[in-house]
Amino acid sequence: MGRLLGIAIWLITILSVWMFVSGKWWFPPAITTHGPQYDRQFLITIIVVGISFAAAQIGLGWVVWKYRDSGDKQRATYSHGNNRLEVVWTVITAIIFISLGIMGQRVWASLQLTKVPAGAYTIAVTAQQFSWNFHYPGKDGVFGHTDPNLIDDSSLNFVGLDDTDPNAKDDSVVATLAIPADRPVELILNSKDVTHSFFVPQLRFKQDLVPGMKIHVHFTANKVGKYELACAELCGMNHYKMKAYMLVLPQTEFDELVALPQAQFQARQAELLNKYQLPNY
Amino acid sequence: MAEATHAEVHRHPAPTSFIRKYIFSLDHKVIGIQYLLLALAAVIVGMIMSVLMRVNLSWPGTHIKIMETLFPQGAPGGVMTPEFYLSLVTMHGTIMVFFVLTTAPQGGFGNYFLPIQIGAEDMAFPLLNMMSFWVTLVGFVVILTAIFAEGNATVGGWFSKLGTSFAGGSGTVGPIGGWTGYPPLSALGPIAGPGQGAGVNLWVISIAIFCVGSLLGALNFITTLLNMRTRGMTLMRMPLTCWAWFTTAILALLSFPVLLGGGILLLLDRIAGTSFFIPGGLYVSGNTVPLHNGGSPLLWQHLFWFFGHPEVYIAILPGMGATSHILSTFARKPVFGYRAMVFAIFAIGMLGFFVWGHHMFMSGMSPYSAVAFSVLTLSIGVPSAIKTFNWLGTLWGAKIRFTTPMLFSIGFVSLFVAGGITGLVLGQSSLDFFFHDTYFVTAHFHLVMGVASIFGMFAATYFWFPKMFGRCMNEGIGKIHFWITFLGVYAIFVPFHAMGLLGMPRRYAQFTEYEFLKNSKGLVTFVTVAAIITVTAQVLFYFNFFWSMFKGAPASENPWEATTLEWIIPSPPPHDNFAGIIPTVFHGPYEFSVPGAPNDFIMQTDGENIVAEAGGSNGGNGHRH
């Protein structure tokens, strides 16, 4: 039984490690400036994880193989442990794990503990059951005033835009997110009903949208294309299809788009959604 | 003097009537078995739900006749709706976490064996002990009621009479907030969609009741362990199981009140118009929500996870205790680094209170606090690694007897490593940008707090069954059960990591809407098949459990040649455990293979000089077979 169990544990180890190194199941390629750093941090971490996992499992498989009761009169080794060994492995794991934890703050700090870079383009995102609204400030670059009391889905005022505000005249509220390539983007995230979460796998980015909070986040995308945006926080029955598209556009194409008034903005986005294709998965 | 007083207070005559003996019993052993049976019932419900969910994910549109019969609304034509799926997610999580992982390891085995292992005749407060079980059972009945309050139009109609927030019959089988029940979704009531009426109220009430039951249990465990140890049972001579139950009880005592408070506030938001968790200016399902203002959705998350993270350790620490105990017994070796194991259990328990924020990296809380939570989280890996090293150290140079409990204990070590190690990924706030709320998380916690804990319970069941019922479980069936389950759970949960790498979000009723998930199809089906096989194999366990209770081979006092106090008394033990003769302890709990001793194990009660006296002849006090 000992040998069989040892072999089983080794086989499980090999198959589990294979699943990660085969490359059959891996992230979709990153499209943000922090993406490569994220991927590197994950690679370092998963290598540490893989080595620790394999070492522990191979060790476990070996002791159950080796130290099975063979029926002889010999007793097991009488030992209550070894304090020096305890100290050694405690210190080693503490150093490795805590360094990993500290290294793991770099991407976080670059996005979450820094101010929005100068020249960022700002878009207000309002999530609702089960769709997304992206509010663009228009030509003047100033958001029109919004008020939750003005929200009226039946008349298509999804974010409560105040039409009496002159700044609101050129604003667009659309269902597809378009962002510029190679330029920092600031999103102001809010929800009008329950908690949702903004998740685009290629961005290596996620952030909850919490009712009652306006959460400012920023990142820089650097690869033109069309991507899927998913909701990642349980928000009700149709959570699984609360989907939108995200277009990353060349700077000129983006500038032209956001200068358009609402109706043309939407029409142009529809064209762009056809022009760009989703990545091959 | 103290001991005399305890003996006076705690000795109560054996009850004779059926009701006082088996139903409203004050005996910790009966209460322990009641908790076990509760968990065995609850886990069936949880498992059936998981299989239904898997079938829906792999083969959407599958007609399941029984669902149509029971829930014509939620499963029209026997096909599950997305909201039905989400209510299964919620109920599966809630039932498994509370009524399985929190009841069996602590309320079940802890109740039965903690008093015996420290040489006490019962718990400190037998009446509280009885109440803790019955309160918990009421909680279970309430959560089951939620299934029909939302799923059945007639039952739902009865609840609807209690007010809007109790509106029932929406066609789900309970609430659809996940076991974490984040407001505002869980707080707004039926306007937020199906499954937000009576189901949520009953869910909150059930959890609040459960908190009360757990608190009563925790007080009892702590008092019993500190005050009622027998002569010679110093803290450092306690079996590691007792250390684990003790630490678990402290965690429960400090964390359940917070959840209880949070649950009451959530219920008030729902039924009394308060706004603890609901901010102003909401617009839900085409209507403004004028009556709420000023609440904070994040407040709930803090309260919930302040409980929720220690809860993970409440689930797994007893499994660690049982594993350490059983590994040592069948390795015929003392536990490697007993003292380090005690400190590691305590360190894991205490650090567990300072890391709840790692569930909230993406929640919108201060990004600076995320840095602290992240580094503290990674440091929990250190005591976890100490435990793993010491388990391997215990097996090193051993003479392993591969009994069924031993197989499950070795399985526990393997699964604990496999599940725990990915905490190094998820504990990093940066990496959560991608992995938060994906199947990578689902893989992590199912392996470590789910199946590792369950393996601890299986090990404990096979190990202590002879003591509890006076008969042994069938080893052959036990081993087949181990092999299918061990390979099965790996086949289920390892592929979850790959789905997580693809970015698959949790709690999706279908994966058909997204192109980036299309490569997961093979994996999803593979997991479903593995889950069906593994769940089916549990029939072996149930059969073995109930068949052996009546037909198993009779068990001797000490069938495993183990050392601790439960093995010096008859199987099953008499009403007051030691028949009035309270044992005195002279040895540590894991004295196996001591050179010069007459046997390869020294009972804790064997004479002090047993090794010196031995010299090949029969020494000690006769607990020998």
List of domains in chain A: 2-68+82-111 (no CATH), 117-275 (2.60.40.420)
* Residue B363 neighbours by CB under 8 Å, 6+ apart: A208, A210, B298, B301
Spatial CA neighbour of B366 closest among B286, B453, B460, B429? B429
- What residues of chain A lie within 8 A of the CB of B434, using their CB? 27, 38, 42, 201, 204-206
* Chain B closest-CA separation from residue A55 CA (Å): 10
In a domain, B12, yes or no: no
Domain boundary among B277, B309, B338: B277
Residue with tokens 């490359």: A23
The reply to whether B3 touches chain A by the CB within 8 Å rule is no
pLDDT at B614: 64
Domain boundary among B554, B579, B613: B554
The reply to whether B519 touches chain A by the CB within 8 Å rule is yes
Cβ–Cβ gap B392/A75 under 8 Å: no
pTM for the model: 0.95
Helix (H, G, I), strand (E, B) or coil at A50: helix
The reply to whether B56 touches chain A by the CB within 8 Å rule is no
Are B330 and B237 part of one and the same domain?
no
- What phi and psi, each to the nearest 5 degrees, are found at residue A247? -105, 130
In a domain, B201, yes or no: yes
In a domain, B289, yes or no: no
Determine the residue of chain A that is closest to B329 in CA distance: A76
In a domain, B284, yes or no: no
Tokens representing residue B146 in the block:
């939620």
Interface test with chain A among B327, B330, B400, by most A beta carbons within 10 Å: B400
At residue B621, does pLDDT exceed 60?
no
Are B529 and B582 part of one and the same domain?
no
* Chain B closest-CA separation from residue A245 CA (Å): 10
A-B C-beta contacts closer than 8 Å: 372
In a domain, B376, yes or no: yes
Residue with tokens 């390892």: B494
Domains in chain B, number: 3
Q: CA A194 to CA A238: how far, in whole Å?
A: 13
In a domain, B15, yes or no: no
pLDDT digits (tens, 9 = 90+) for A124-165: 999 999 999 999 999 999 999 999 999 999 999 999 999 999
- Measured from the Cβ of residue A209, the count of other Cβ atoms closer than 10 Å reads 27
At residue B388, does pLDDT exceed 80?
yes
Q: CA B421 to CA A50: how far, in whole Å?
A: 9
Which residues 115-174 in chain B show a CB within 8 A of chain A? none
- Residue B609, burial from CB neighbour count under 10 angstroms (0-12, 13-18, 19+): exposed
Cβ–Cβ gap B414/A212 under 8 Å: no
Are B263 and B320 part of one and the same domain?
no
Are B267 and B338 part of one and the same domain?
no
In order of A122, A164, A173, A245, B526, the CA distances from A261 in angstroms are 17, 17, 10, 20, 50
pLDDT digits (tens, 9 = 90+) for B164-178: 999 999 999 999 999
Cross-strand bridge partners of residue B287: B284
* Residue B149 neighbours by CB under 8 Å, 6+ apart: B155, B156, B159, B168, B169, B197, B198, B199, B202
The reply to whether A210 touches chain B by the CB within 8 Å rule is yes
Question: Where does the pLDDT of residue B228 fall: very low under 50, low under 70, confident under 90, or very high at 90 and above?
Answer: very high
Task: Identify which of A80, A100, A207 has the shortest CB distance to residue B424.
Answer: A100
In order of B33, B81, B230, B464, the CA distances from B112 in angstroms are 7, 43, 17, 10
Question: Where does the pLDDT of residue B378 fall: very low under 50, low under 70, confident under 90, or very high at 90 and above?
Answer: very high
Are B529 and B625 part of one and the same domain?
no
Are B335 and B187 part of one and the same domain?
no
Are B40 and B122 part of one and the same domain?
yes
In a domain, B290, yes or no: no
Cβ–Cβ gap A94/B284 under 8 Å: no
Cross-strand bridge partners of residue A185: A121, A219
Tokens representing residue B19 in the block:
């009701």
- What phi and psi, each to the nearest 5 degrees, are found at residue B609? -100, 25
Which domain covers residue B548, as residue numbers?
A: 296-554
Angle at B281 between CA B279 and CA B285, to 5 degrees: 100
Tell me the helices (H) and strands (E) count for chain B, helix number first. Answer: 21, 2
- What residues of chain A lie within 8 A of the CB of B502, using their CB? 25-28, 201
pLDDT at B18: 87
Spatial CA neighbour of A97 closest among B114, B418, B119, B386? B386
> ipTM, 2 decimals?
0.97
pLDDT digits (tens, 9 = 90+) for B412-471: 999 999 999 999 999 999 999 999 999 999 999 999 999 999 999 999 999 999 999 999
Are B308 and B206 part of one and the same domain?
no
pLDDT at A223: 97
- What residues of chain A lie within 8 A of the CB of B596, using their CB? none
Strand pairing class (B283-284; B287-288): antiparallel
In a domain, B517, yes or no: yes
- What residues of chain A lie within 8 A of the CB of B363, using their CB? 208, 210
Are B512 and B443 part of one and the same domain?
yes
Domain boundary among B220, B243, B277: B277
* Chain A closest-CA separation from residue B239 CA (Å): 14
For the segment B257-285, the average pLDDT, to the nearest whole number, is: 97
Q: Strand (E) positions, A97-137? A: 121-128, 131-136
Are B495 and B395 part of one and the same domain?
yes
Are B257 and B321 part of one and the same domain?
no
Residue B8 half-sphere exposure toward CB, CA atoms < 13 A? 5
Tokens representing residue B68 in the block:
């149509």
The reply to whether B444 touches chain A by the CB within 8 Å rule is no
Cβ–Cβ gap A232/B495 under 8 Å: no
CATH code at position B192: 1.20.210.10
Provide the sign of the torsion angle of the four alpha carbons B605, B607, B608, B612, taken in this order: negative
Are B423 and B323 part of one and the same domain?
yes
pLDDT at B253: 97
